[in-house]
Amino acid sequence: MADKRDLLILGGGLVGMTLALAAAKKGISSHVVDRADPAELTAEGFDGRASAISTASWNLFTNIGLAGALKPLGCAITNIAVTDGMKPGRIDFEPAPEDGSLGLMYRNRDLRLALFQAAREESLIAWHAPVQVTKRERGAHGVSATLGDGTVLEASLMVAAEGRRSPTREEAGLNLAHWNYHHRAIIAGLFHEKPHEGVAWEIFYPAGPFALLPLPDDEQGRHRSAMVWSVNEKDADGLLALPEKAFLGEVLGKMHGVYGAIEADGPRSSYPLGFQHTARIIGERLALVGDAAHGIHPIAGQGLNLGLRDVGALVEVLVEGMRLGLEPGEAQMLARYEKWRALDSFSVAFACDSLTRLFGIPGKLPSLARRIGMAAVQRTPPLKRFFMDEARGMSGDLPELLKA
């Protein structure tokens, strides 16, 4: 007899696995399918990226039982320092003591380890990885995916969580608006002499933004940060090919000595920067979540948080519908999910794209104009408060799972 489940989640990354766990907490079963080997995804050095977890996203992790595993591994963001090339006029986004931090920084590897361990212990999650999907089918009465070994997985609703290049989205014919910024993000971990004190730096240069994101000290007590350096596509390969000493010299010049001497923490990597947004995030018995629905520039650190808001909204819609006797995948439930997420996801994507075009793309905004704009924000408390609320992810119509 086929093991038919409520959800068939294609993509078991950070968003897909969080969805499976959040659904399981509400009694909703799932198949989770991923082509990548979990052991490779969690290997030290595989992925040097780090993610900012907003207050709302932390509430989600807490509500699905991950806070205990994750809390010791994160670093609170106490201040976001924004500057135009370290010139006068720096903005400090520093919350009042009663507001807590502006979020938490985590290495993606640590997030995966916690999610994967929780998934292994959850009977409502059937995890299939590494496997290839050779066929996807959606019909009036259910959905299925055929794996490379001939296994057929069945469910009521298919969820595409495969990221920006989602084959499920493409196969469904959901139109995508997208463009390339012709920049790459160079990612590297850094050890540094001086403590970061929880400060996240966003330093704008004529060639593109340079960010330093605070991470916890390692087991030896060494201070650590994650670096995200946006560079022109034509310059990326050259920088990646530099010997370590020369590369660190380039990085040190961008840091203006704020953390003293630096060393490399693992290998460096890069990925292309672009924008994409899908007008429709549902189809017949299909829902898109995360980067499969919307991919944004990392300038505001909201990409993963946007996907986790998708998770909270979809689970809430499914729970309410199933309570009324509907099954996952029914059109009226999916329509509610799309309506709920449409304005929020578009607003965040549009805001990030606008910030990128103003601050993150060379030649779009003169340095003097940037500094004038930053000074205006500094002198306008309500505007600063708005940006801090956005960083915490506490604006808009939040799903229950993202509330404290």
Q: What is the pLDDT along the chain (404 residues), one digit of tens a residue?
A: 578 999 999 999 999 999 999 999 999 999 999 999 999 999 887 777 899 999 999 999 999 999 999 999 999 999 999 888 888 878 888 887 877 788 999 999 999 999 999 999 999 999 999 999 999 999 999 999 999 999 999 999 999 999 999 999 999 999 888 878 788 999 999 999 999 999 999 998 888 889 999 999 999 999 999 999 999 999 999 999 999 999 999 999 999 999 999 999 999 999 898 878 888 999 999 999 999 998 776 665 677 998 999 999 999 999 999 999 999 999 999 999 999 998 776 566 555 555 555 555 554 555 555 555 555 555 556 555 656 666 667 666 789 999 98
pLDDT, residue 363, reads 47
Q: How far apart are CA 284 and CA 281, in angstroms?
A: 11
For residue 85, is it left (φ>0), alpha (ψ between -120 and 50) or beta? left
pTM of the model: 0.91
* 11 neighbors 128 (Cβ within 8 angstroms): no
The predicted-structure confidence for 333-375, as pLDDT tens digits, reads as follows: 999 999 999 877 656 655 555 555 555 555 455 555 555 555 5
Structure tokens at 402: 């993202």
* 326 neighbors 332 (Cβ within 8 angstroms): yes
Length, in residues, of the chain: 404
Q: How far apart are CA 164 and CA 304, in angstroms?
A: 12
Q: How far apart are CA 11 and CA 163, in angstroms?
A: 8
Q: How far apart are CA 139 and CA 322, in angstroms?
A: 19
pLDDT, residue 303, reads 78
* 144 neighbors 151 (Cβ within 8 angstroms): no
The predicted-structure confidence for 13-39, as pLDDT tens digits, reads as follows: 999 999 999 999 999 999 999 999 999
